[in-house]
Structure 1
Amino acid sequence: MMILRKKMNYIVGLLLLAFSVLTYADNVPPDVLVKNTTVDVTTILKRDKAVLLNDSQKLYALIDAKVLPHFDFNQMTMLAVGRYWRQATPVQQQSLIKEFRTLLVRTYANALAEFNNQVIEFKPFNMAANATDATVQTQVKQPGAQPIPIDYSMEKTDAGWKVYDVSIDGVSLVTNYRSSFATEIRNSGIDGLIHTLAGRNQQNAPTKPATTK
């Protein structure tokens, strides 16, 4: 389980960056959105990785500004919480969205440290003209290892195409969290899950880089 979690954190963090450049992508098809940004993002990582990793606040700010707008965190949180979502009060739902969003930001930031110029390939994509849901299939190639398939589940919204799940080597990110969230809720209730997520996020809160005199 730990190996799977590390692989998911690493790959999700890497691949989600493919959405960080096109801020105004309302009318861009989902596959084009991913393809057109990959080269640009790779360039950014090569150029700024050392600086960003030395200042986690800048790294988190970059992710918050460039990556997160392309994800539907309301939908992702609702799917991750599963059947317990309807039991949550509106206040609890907003807290769950906030903490889950923060958790994923921390995950993506930590995963960036593992980026090492892997190659991203895209599988043929077909979508009906009036489709509102699509899956973009890719794979990550790295020397000495089997390619890792990555599937992006996306939905068309008024603000353009948004990601609501990522499957890594056949394992859904949302489903993976749903299992652990359900266990936490059964043991400690919805407030217990919120408390656990908040505590984890607090532990991993960004720190300012050390200054030299």
Structure 2
Amino acid sequence: MNKTILVSIRQLFFTAATLLLATNAMAAPQLQPPEIEVEKITRNLLDLYDKNEEKYRKDREGFVQEVDRMLSPVVAFDQIARYVMGKYTRRSPGQVDKFETTFKDSLLRFYSNALLALDDTSLTIESVDKTPEKQLKEYIAGDISRIPVKMSVRTSTRSVDIFYSMVHTDGRWKLRNITIDGINIAKQFQTQFADAVDRYGKVETVVANWAEIMQGKDIKAGK
């Protein structure tokens, strides 16, 4: 092949590759830091609670539905459910999807009832830590699987530290876990699940009766 033609072909391929990379770089969306989503949803929830506290104390089911509407798009229920099932995810793969549905409902009710149980009408965001640029780059590169976001919420008497564990999935940041005052919520649920399997003997039994187990009921009778 003529040397001039060969050089031209190489230049053509090089130019095409360069343009392709440039186009992809321009088209790639800029990944916003997760604390923006965290602060937004928290403010919306606190605002909902503040404006409708008395109404929802009388209509708890209505409050659960509102919390569901607000949180469902921003919580990775599937990932949390798999974590809670732990080793039983592999041992009972047919129960994973069933548990995800049951767990989502119980988690929303747990959160809603915990919020309504507060005798504190003064709940405000005190601070939200920014995600270091280095940490965001590590996440994008796949070097870390989650990004922690620290938030301090102020009550009428004290500050409460909350750590949100965030993952970017389905085109947005979602909550993967939450730690409140040092209590790892997902870990607590995982321990409860394992203890329930030890008590009742079957994963299927625990999955089918998870709501009752969460309420502290003995499911042996009539179940």
Question: Following the alignment from structure 1 to structure 2, what is the Cα–Cα distance between the partners of residues 89 and 43?
Answer: 39
Does the 8 Å contact 2:78/2:100 carry over to 1?
A: yes
Gaps of 5+ in 2: 1-29, 141-145, 218-223
Preserved CA contact (<8 Å) 1:184 1:193: yes
More deviation in 105-114 or 43-52?
Answer: 43-52
Q: Given residue 105 of structure 1, which amino acid in structure 2 is its aligned partner?
A: L
Matched, 1:152 2:156: no
RCO comparison, higher one (Cα < 8 Å, 6+) = 1
Would the aligned equivalents of 2:164 and 2:178 in 1 still touch at CA under 8 Å? yes
Query: For the pair shown, which has the larger CA radius of gyration, 1 or 2?
Result: 2
Task: Confirm whether residue 138 of structure 1 aligns to residue 146 of structure 2.
Answer: no
SS of structure 1 residue aligned to 2:87 = helix
Cα distance, 1:182 vs structure 2: 0.7
After the TM superposition, which residues 16-55 of structure 1 pair with which residues of structure 2 at under 5 Å, given as runs?
A: 28-55=32-59
Alpha-carbon shift at residue 86 of structure 1 (Å): 0.7
Q: How does 1:55-204 map to 2 (within 5 A)?
A: 55-90=59-94, 92-113=95-116, 114=118, 116-120=121-125, 121-126=127-132, 127-129=135-137, 131-132=139-140, 133-145=146-158, 147-188=159-200, 189-200=202-213
Conserved? CA contact 1:70–1:163, under 8 Å: yes
Partner amino acid for 1:136? V
Task: Look up the match of 2:14.
Answer: none
AA of the residue aligned to 1:131: Y
Correspondences of 1:2-13 after superposition (within 5 Å): none
Deviation at 1:202, TM superposition (A): 9.1
Q: Which amino acid aligns with 2:188?
A: N
CA distance in 2: counterparts of 1:144 and 1:56, whole angstroms: 26
* Equivalent AA in structure 2 for residue 154 of structure 1: M
Q: 1:155 to 1:37 in 2, by over 3 A?
A: closer
Asked if the contact 2:163/2:178 (under 8 Å) is kept, the reply is: yes
* Partner of residue 207, structure 1: none
Deviations, residues 140-179 of structure 1 (Å, cap 9, x unaligned): 222334x321100011113311111101122211111111
Please give the TM-score of this superposition, normalised by the length of structure 2.
0.69
Deviations along 1:66-95, one digit per CA (max 9) or x if unpaired, are: 1122111110011111111111132x1122
Matching residue's letter, 1:196: N
1:110-163 CA distances to partner (integer Å, 9 max, x unpaired)?
Answer: 122115222322224314246253111012222334x32110001111331111
Match of 1:117, SS state, is coil
In 1, Cα distance between equivalents of 2:76 and 2:154:
27
Assess if the C-alpha contact under 8 Å between 1:42 and 1:117 holds in 2: no
